[in-house]
């Protein structure tokens, strides 16, 4: 049984983008509304010519996305289990990849193992991928972890992540310029979350509607037991 969301003051909650199946946007929108969420599916009217007549249609302004207000400190399963919802968009900092390479037992490795899971979508830019490679090979090449293994994992990242070109930069915005790589791809991808162990380093990301969470916190939000 899914409990109805309790939003005492919905006007105080920020809007987040949710990735959806394009043809199920209306179903997702109505279902979220029925669960107590305030949602918004932007539509526009378009006239299309059929074989014998003109027809006016309502089409999504942003195909594959709708917008929803919710408290990110709550569990997200009521949203993730909504028909038509694909998942939540996120980006990760280099410390998550380093932790995954160093141990198979932690939340970071579990996130790496879940790449491609329909409940969330990871995003990557070329600059961030190069930063991943540089940091991983500097800190993690030891014992069984070879440069070839790191190359194989980075290839999997590039295959599973949605690659985003970054056209806008606000540097310097964060205290560490290298963290700006992560923030830039998160903003460009309209991410809801940045996954990092150093959440304080991303103070200010909330100005873009992005929340920094740890790997464990994110796993709990998508319903994983950790």
What's the CA gap between 173 and 159, in Å, rounded? Answer: 29
* Contact indicator for 173, 207 with CB cutoff of 8 Å: no
Q: pLDDT digit string (tens) for 133-148? A: 888 888 887 767 888 8
Q: Worst-scoring range by mean pLDDT, 13-17, 182-186, 190-194?
A: 13-17
CATH C-level class of 10-83: alpha beta
Strand blocks (E) in the chain: 15-20, 38-40, 43-49, 54-60, 65-69, 85-92, 120-124, 162-163, 193-195, 211-213
Collect contacts of 134-138 with beta carbons under 8 A, ≥24 apart.
135/94, 135/97, 135/98, 136/94, 136/97, 136/98, 136/101
**What is the fold, at CATH topology level, of the domain defined by 87-221?**
Rossmann fold (3.40.50)
The residue whose two tokens read 């790191």 is: 150
SS3 82: coil
% of the chain at pLDDT higher than 70? 89
Instruction: Provide mean pLDDT across the span 55-65.
Output: 81
Is residue 98 within a helix (H) or strand (E), and if so which, with residue range? Answer: helix 94-102
**Is residue 165 scored above 50 in pLDDT?**
yes
Going by C-alpha positions, the residue among 190, 198, 154, 194 that lies closest to residue 18 is 190
What's the CA gap between 103 and 6, in Å, rounded? Answer: 38
What's the CA gap between 75 and 3, in Å, rounded? Answer: 11
pLDDT of residue 35: 93
Per-residue pLDDT band at 6 (split at 50, 70, 90): very low
Going by C-alpha positions, the residue among 24, 127, 178, 177 that lies closest to residue 32 is 24
Return all residues near 30 (Cβ < 8 A) that are at least 6 apart.
none
Mode of pairing for the β-strands spanning 38-40 and 120-124: unpaired
**Where in the chain are the domains?**
10-83, 87-221
Average pLDDT, the chain: 82
């Amino acid at each position: 049984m899914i409990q109805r969301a309790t939003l005492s003051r919905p006007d105080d909650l920020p809007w987040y983008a949710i990735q959806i199946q394009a043809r199920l946007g209306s179903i997702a929108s109505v279902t979220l509304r029925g669960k107590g969420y305030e949602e918004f599916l932007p539509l526009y009217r378009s006239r299309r010519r059929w074989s014998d007549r003109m027809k006016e249609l309502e089409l999504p302004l942003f195909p594959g996305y709708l917008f929803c207000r919710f408290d990110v400190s709550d569990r997200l399963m009521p949203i993730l289990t909504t028909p038509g919802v694909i998942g939540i968009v996120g980006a990760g900092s280099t410390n998550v990849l380093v932790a995954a390479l160093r141990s198979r037992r932690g939340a970071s490795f579990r996130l790496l193992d879940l790449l491609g899971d329909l409940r969330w979508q990871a995003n990557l830019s070329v600059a961030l991928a190069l930063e991943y490679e540089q940091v991983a090979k500097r800190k993690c090449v030891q014992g069984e972890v070879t440069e070839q293994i790191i190359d194989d994992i980075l290839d999997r990242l590039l295959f599973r992540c949605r690659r985003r070109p970054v056209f806008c930069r606000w540097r310097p915005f964060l205290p560490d310029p290298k963290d700006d790589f992560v923030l830039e791809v998160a903003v460009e991808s309209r991410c809801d979350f940045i996954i990092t162990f150093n959440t304080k380093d991303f103070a200010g990301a909330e100005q873009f509607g992005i929340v920094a969470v740890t790997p464990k916190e994110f796993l709990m939000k998508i319903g994983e037991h950790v």
